[in-house]
Chains A and B, each alone.
Chain A
């Protein structure tokens, strides 16, 4: 089973 990662898990807001 896998889940979809989201952008904010990898890159932080500036």
Chain B
């Protein structure tokens, strides 16, 4: 028996919107720790890792570890039928091939049940070791989204270079080139607007903008985004979900030949 009740149903809506363009089908893993997912895009260039900890739910019952295969587009469609302020409950009986999404409006006078078929999905789980990254940038999520969007109108790839002073995003295309530098900020009054850089070594890596633009669909989930880079690892773009966990995107860099 599985029963997860989330007071902020809007959060689950945002989580699905943040994943459905990157991944078609995925297994959600439910354990006493929380509700999680790891999945790659079809080309295995990007990976998304989601964790919603059990403590973040108003009620969390998961009698045994269970993996439920879902089509993320269909799940997003069902969740779009929930109001942003609705309470969302996920329910599944042991061995059932369906999951039920129950939506309750804030005044509790409208209750909706949506039942979705589960799928058998063969997916491989990759081990992601803890790593010390050479450069970590924390910046406003909306600013990062804006930069990725703007640069993708000029070129297909972005060179991200981190130094002690700041982070530089560069691209080139048929019409010309673009460079955006975000300097490290030193203000203390508005931490949500800060650009913070923790650098062990300068890093310069090239990534496909198409994927970064897809990751920025998670922007409504967090005010800040953390970008971690090392020269020999995929970059990690993390959006922390307050009180619940995170959504992390891993993106393999372009490799010089």
B250 sits at the interface (CB 8 A): yes
Most B CB contacts (10 A, CB to CB) among A4, A6, A12 go to A4
Contact of B126 among A1, A4, A13 (CB under 8 A): A13
The segment from B44-52, B56-64, B81-89 that touches chain A is B44-52
B9 sits at the interface (CB 8 A): no
On chain A, the residues within 8 Å of B233 by CB distance are: 10
Q: From B234, which residue of chain A is reached at the shortest CB distance?
A: A10
Q: Per DSSP, are chain A's interface residues mostly helix, strand or loop, or mixed?
A: mixed
On chain B, the residues within 8 Å of A10 by CB distance are: 232-234, 252
On chain B, the residues within 8 Å of A3 by CB distance are: 254-255, 257
Q: A4-B45, A5-B45 are known contacts. Are A11 and B254 too (CB-CB below 8 A)?
A: no
B175 sits at the interface (CB 8 A): no
On chain A, the residues within 8 Å of B129 by CB distance are: 11
On chain B, the residues within 8 Å of A7 by CB distance are: 40, 44-47, 126, 234, 250, 252
Q: From B211, which residue of chain A is reached at the shortest CB distance?
A: A4
Contact of A11 among B43, B46, B127 (CB under 8 A): B127
Is the pair A9, B252 in contact by a Cβ cutoff of 8 Å? Answer: yes
**A4-B179 Cα distance, complex, nearest whole Å:** 22
Interface residues of B (CB under 8 A from A): 40, 43-47, 124-129, 206, 208, 232-234, 250, 252-257
Interface residues of A (CB under 8 A from B): 1-14
Q: Which 4 A-B pairs have the closest CB atoms?
A: A5-B252, A11-B126, A14-B127, A2-B254
Query: 15 other contacts beyond A2-B256, A11-B129, A11-B250, with CB at 8 A cut-off?
Result: A1-B257, A2-B206, A2-B257, A5-B252, A7-B44, A7-B45, A7-B126, A7-B252, A9-B252, A10-B234, A11-B47, A13-B125, A13-B126, A14-B126, A14-B127
